[in-house]
Amino acid sequence: MEDWENLPSTSEAAAVDFGSYAGLQASPHRGMPQALGSPAYRSPQQHLKLSDRFIPTRTAAARLDYSILDRELVTAEVSRSASEREDLNPAYNLLLRSELLGGPSSSGQIPADKAQQLEQLKAPCSPSKKLFRYKSGDAASPFGGPASLSPYSMSPVGADAGIASSPMASPRRAQRKIPRAPFKVLDAPALQDDFYLNMVDWSSQNVLAVGLGPSVYLWSASTSNVSKLCDLPAGDVVCSVAWSQRGTYLSVGCNSGKVQIWDAARMRLVRTMEGHRARVGTMAWGSHVLSSGSRDRTILQRDVRAPEHFSSKLQGHRSEICGLKWSPDDRQLASGGNDNLLLVWQLGSSNPAMRFTEHKAAVKAITWSPHQHGLLASGGGTADRCIRFWNTASGLPINAIDTGSQVCNLA
């Protein structure tokens, strides 16, 4: 015992480093404990500060913060989270029941047809029957099965049957009434009465351009101000007007075959382009390409950024060009003529990609659908009186509607 108490300090440190954290400290000699009052004894606090080994603490503050007493708090938290879930919401359950079962009746019973469907779903499948078969129609027919949902269905998950009586159905909006009387009347003296000309165009900046004789007037729908944009030289008259896509420039087609481009904001002439030998009755703007159609039966493609008057000439009509319209993606140009033809041209090509001959009169009214790619509509003159729809992706006609009158414009 005396040899233990007179150990050097280095042995004391070794005893602390390799000792136990319990009440008795291990001796350098294996299996012999030290007394609590001996100089080599170190308290557990001193041991934790000096030890180089990881010894887990057993303090109460560091235990797992959960016990049986916390179940009430956890239950309350789960209930609060469940109330926020969509599938446990009473309104969601009511909507789901209404869509799948057609809505609860006044007696609280499921309708007979719905109950029959549910019984069929619950019935086990007989091994003697075909496992793979359609729900309706001939099992061997690829055209069997339930009818496809309409793209105009108001229901997010089912058919429209029972929607009107559903408690979740929104009230039907009243049909919008379009007034028969105009809210504004503008005087238009010297407006040419010619079916083949395009004398009016509305810009994306809410400004209306009208060609009256040798002059072009602008009317702002926002301020109701009227201003004169230009006067053509003596002996010349306006035959067509067309706004650029941004509504900053206005092209004016003249009876002399010239095309003028005006800056509407600065009220000044930007440039004059030639190339046609007869009047320019129709024009259409692409992104940076201006197409002009003339009585000389040609279409000129003009790049307004280039110094040349035109970059290419399209020839496919046998009579005056009276309708032009670029597709929303500026890749296809539709042209209509007095020869009853509707042609579709690809950008950069000098030959028509498609040729439609179903119209029986001049084709002036042309428009592209901004919502469906490749959907084209055209209207015929007095002898035709039809609006025809075309699929330019497949080159096939879609539908035709007889309006009972010549079609002058489409939008």
Strand order in the sheet with 207-212: 200-202, 207-212, 215-220, 226-231
Give the pLDDT confidence score for residue 54 in this predicted structure: 73
Give the pLDDT confidence score for residue 259 in this predicted structure: 97
Give the pLDDT confidence score for residue 56 in this predicted structure: 67
Phi, psi of 191 (to 5 degrees): -75, 125
d(C-alpha 189, C-alpha 119), whole Å: 76
pTM exceeds 0.85 for this model: no
Q: 56: which 2 tokens?
A: 């887990």
**What 3-state DSSP class applies to 114?**
helix
Q: Which residues of 320-355 are buried (b: 16+ CB within 10 A; e: fewer)?
A: bbbbbbbbeeeebbbbbbbbbbbbbbeeeeeebebe
- Cβ atoms of 208 and 219 closer than 8 Å: yes
The distance of Cα 250 from the centroid of its chain, to the nearest Å, equals 30
Give the pLDDT confidence score for residue 371 in this predicted structure: 93
Beta-bridged to residue 345, according to DSSP, are: 333, 352
One digit per residue, the tens of pLDDT, for the chain of length 411 reads 444 444 444 444 444 444 444 444 444 444 444 544 555 555 555 555 555 777 766 655 444 555 555 666 767 776 776 666 655 666 777 777 777 776 554 444 555 655 555 455 445 544 444 555 545 444 444 444 455 555 555 555 555 545 455 555 566 778 888 889 998 898 898 899 999 999 999 999 999 999 999 999 999 999 999 999 999 999 999 999 999 999 999 999 999 999 999 999 999 999 999 999 999 999 999 988 999 999 999 999 999 999 999 999 999 999 999 999 999 999 999 999 999 999 999 998 999 999 999 999 999 999 999 999 999 999 999 999 999 999 999 999 999 999 999 999 999
Give the pLDDT confidence score for residue 51 in this predicted structure: 59
**What 3-state DSSP class applies to 48?**
helix
Which of these, 235, 234, 238, lies nearest to 218 by C-alpha position? Answer: 238
Give the pLDDT confidence score for residue 172 in this predicted structure: 74
Which of these, 13, 42, 15, lies nearest to 28 by C-alpha position? Answer: 15
d(C-alpha 231, C-alpha 228), whole Å: 8
Give the pLDDT confidence score for residue 67 in this predicted structure: 59
